[in-house]
Structure formats: C-alpha cells, structure tokens
Amino acid sequence: MRRLLLALLFAPLAALAQPAISVDYERFRLDNGLDVILHRDASVPTVTVNTWYHVGSGREQPGRTGFAHLFEHLMFEGSGHVPEGAIDTWLEEAGGGANGSTTRDRTNYTTDAAANGLELALYLDADRMASLLDAMSPESVDGQRDVVKNERRQSYENRPYGMAFSVLGQTLYPPGHPYHWPTIGAMEDLTAASYQDVVDFFRTYYTPNNASLVVAGDIDLEQTRQWVEAWYGAIPRGPEPPLQPIATPTLERERRLVLEDAVQLPRLYLAWHSPARFAPADAAMEALAGVLAGGKNRRLYKRLVYDLEIAQDVSAFQSGDLHSGEFYVIATARPGVDLDEIEAVIAEEIARLQAEAPDGRELQRVVNGVEAGFLDALETIDGFAGKADQLNSYLFFTGTPDYFEEDLARFRALAPRDLSDAALTFLTDARVALSIVPEGAAALALDCSETAVPLF
C-alpha cells in the first residue's frame, strides 16, 4: 500500500485524470476603451472590484520616478464626489475595504464589499477614474509625498538590508532602462516633482483606455454590466500612452559589490537576468528555484543550513516582469562565516544542476507545490492573489483572462532536463554578486568586491 501511495504522490500530474481548470467570464469593452471582465462566483456573498492601470514605475522617466507609487496613495484621498476619508468609512459600512499595490508594470486597486455593496464599490472606483483631479490639490500631493518619503525611509534606508534591491536594479539595468530604479522612486525625484508633473502623469496613464476592470463574486451579470456602463461609460477616453523603446538588458561580466549596513549578519545576493514573465523558460526557472531552495529539504537549504551550518537561511526565486526577469539566490551567513564560503557551495550546487538533471521526483515535488498554491488561490475572489486579480494579470500579460490551465500546464510539461538547460542558459558568470555586511566588516564580503553606491 505504501508503494502505491508513493507512486501516486510522485506520478506525473499530466498522467492523472484531472479536469481542466476553467474560470467562466464575460468580457466586453466600453466605447472609451475600458476592458471589462465579469466573473460570477456565488460561493460567498461578497464581491470585488479589481482595476489594473497599465502603469507602474517602468512608465516613469529618469529624474521623474516614484509617480506611479505616489498615485497608489493619492487614489485613496477622495475624488470629485467622494470626500477625503469616505472611501474607508463607506466601505467599512458595506462590510468591505480597499487596497492597492504598484509594480514596475502596473498598479492595481481592489475594492471589496458584501454583495449588496457592489454598486457602491463600482461608484467609488469609477469616480476616482473620472474625477480624481477635481479633489487633488498641491496640498494633498504634498501630504502624500511626505507619506511616501516616510515609507521609503522605513522600507529602504532605515531597514536592515533595505537597499539591496535598489542596488541590484541599478546594476542589472543600465541608466534609462525602465527597471533601473525602484518602484518607490528616488527621494530627490519625489521632492523635485511639481504639482503639474503629477497632474500630467495622471492624465497620461489613468485613463479608461489604459485600464482593465474585473468585477467578480456574487453578482448578477446583467445588472453588473448595466452599472459598469452607467458609472464608467461617460468617462472620456484619454490619450494613447506613449510607446516606450525597451532595450534588452545585458551584463557583460560579473559585478561584485559590497554595501555596509546596520545589520548583524552578512548576507549574499546573487542576481542574474532571466526570462520575462510567461516567456520561454520562465516556468523552468521558477521550478529551478524550487529545487534549489523551495523548502527545508531542498539542495541549498539542506547543505548550507543543516549539513554545513554556515547559513541562517537561504532562498531562491524567479521574478518575471513584462520586459525582463531576474533570478535570485539569497543567503544569510551565520556569525563569523565568510560569504566566500557560502558562495562556493551555491556555485557547486548550480554546477551540479547544470551538469546533471534533477531527479524526476525532485521536480515533481516542486510541481506539486506549484499546483497546491495555484488551487489555493482559486478559492478566493478578492485580494492580491484571488481570481479577480489573476484574471486581470493574465489579461495584461497574455491577452487571455482565463489562462489558468495554460499557466499550470507550463509546469506540468516540464522535464528534468529543462531545468538543467535553463540553468546553463541563464546562470552564467554574468551576474551581480552583492554582499551586505555589518558596518566596518567589509572583509566579510566576497573577495574583490567594489563598494556599492546606491543611486536611488
């Protein structure tokens, strides 16, 4: 019996009879260009309104960074017909709430409510698209500018290891590339931005023809469509967002950098360019990260943390965006351990994977974990991982809202050799190796490291 259970556990998923994942939806486009998707899920009497504006920090210009994230805050400050603070109080009375997040590629806003609060949620979301500028003022921009600056201090300058990804981004991507700067922007750019700069950014990008709207949950499809047309239909179309030439990022050689910080333990960040999201080998790189460090019994974790006891922790992940991706391995040393020692073990394990494909069961464990997380996310409609946000994400990246089955199929189709091939292709010597060490302890960094100078 035990053999049978193990065989089932590690059998290729494609070989097991499984129904295809399909999420029903209706899609239509308003005359002003707003792309609308409706999805009915009556399992819980709640609704969510999920809007993606196709603008993130990657749409900003050098010297004018941080605008997309600033608007993530300004969007909750009230609009032409919604007083400041009313979004939260009105939604709380409707059993809901609102939130937003910003990446390099997009900004999303979620508004959740009990099912009978749907029209209120649509009204609040539509009013800020239509009339945010009627409520915005130099004073409100200055207020949120200060909030963002404080957030930057808390999350970057004054946070242990907080400048790591800013330094990595400025090194991986050349000046002028839209991924060169962090999403939160540069402090001096936030300070220098004029009120008119902020207004112009909104008029360029926060338009119905640069957005997509998903309404999901316990909804009446016909009634919802009527409300969407009523509240969003009169918003005028905006200018077409300017096309942006995006150069393919390259690194010619390894860059070794060291940054001293107010930290207790040295930490090593290894970063490579990797496939963009949904590009070929994106799934292989994600699975490769799982094989290396996706759990406490995976290769790097086992060797660095348990067997050799030279690291406190280790992680690896593939991060694909619209124009490019990055693959990271991050390890924190135990007290007194030199980062060169940790780097040598990481190099050995990567070389081993490049030379010999992982065991089939090793890959299957990773794919099983991906599928488990996938199915877990399908159980919710709201938040940043629920079906509404996922429908918008698939629409943005693939043009097909119901891309669930195809997304999962990428992982089910992987063969062990795909991971080795991906490692050979992308995990080359052209990488960034950043050591963050305690102040005054530069000797703990990788040998031959240059001093990093954060630009943002």
Looking at the predicted structure, is the pLDDT value of residue 3 above 70?
no
Pick 26-233's CATH classification: 3.30.830.10, 1.10.3720.10, 3.40.366.10, 3.10.20.90.
3.30.830.10
Q: Render pLDDT for 119-146 as a digit per residue (tens, 0 to 9).
A: 999 999 999 999 999 999 999 999 999 9
Q: How confident is the model at residue 7 (pLDDT cuts 50, 70, 90)?
A: very low
Q: How confident is the model at residue 177 (pLDDT cuts 50, 70, 90)?
A: very high
Whether the CA torsion 420, 424, 426, 430 is positive or negative: it is positive
Bridge-based pairing of strands 255-261 and 450-451 is parallel
Mean per-residue pLDDT for 306-318? 97
Looking at the predicted structure, is the pLDDT value of residue 2 above 80?
no
Please answer whether residues 215 and 39 qualify as being in contact, where contact means their C-beta atoms are separated by less than 8 angstroms: yes
Between CA 14 and CA 158 the distance in angstroms is 48
Query: What pLDDT score does 17 carry?
Result: 57
Query: What pLDDT score does 383 carry?
Result: 85
Q: Render pLDDT for 254-292 as a digit per residue (tens, 0 to 9).
A: 999 999 999 999 999 999 999 999 999 999 999 999 999
Between CA 249 and CA 366 the distance in angstroms is 29
Mean per-residue pLDDT for 299-311? 97
Query: What pLDDT score does 10 carry?
Result: 46
Looking at the predicted structure, is the pLDDT value of residue 4 above 60?
no
Picking from 12-26, 139-153, 209-223, 434-448, which range would have the lowest pLDDT averaged per residue? Answer: 12-26
DSSP three-state, residue 255: strand
Tell me which residue has tokens 């207004």.
199
Q: Render pLDDT for 68-121 as a digit per residue (tens, 0 to 9).
A: 999 999 999 999 999 999 999 999 998 999 999 999 999 999 999 999 999 999
The full set of domain ranges for the chain reads: 26-233, 255-357+415-451
Q: Residue 456, Cα to own-chain centre: how many angstroms?
A: 20
Q: 26-233 and 255-357+415-451 share one CATH topology?
A: yes
Give the chain's mean pLDDT.
Answer: 94
Please answer whether residues 102 and 144 qualify as being in contact, where contact means their C-beta atoms are separated by less than 8 angstroms: no
Nearest one of 18, 8, 14 to 414, comparing CA atoms:
14
DSSP three-state, residue 134: helix
Q: Tell the burial category of 33 from Cβ atoms under 10 Å away from its Cβ (0-12, 13-18, 19+).
A: middle
Tokens of 394: 């698939």
Instruction: For the chain, state the CA radius of gyration.
Output: 24
* Percent above pLDDT 90 for the chain: 91
User: 255-357+415-451: which CATH topology?
Assistant: Cytochrome Bc1 Complex; Chain A, domain 1 (3.30.830)
Query: In terms of pLDDT, which residue wins out, 343 or 249?
Result: 343
Q: How confident is the model at residue 16 (pLDDT cuts 50, 70, 90)?
A: low
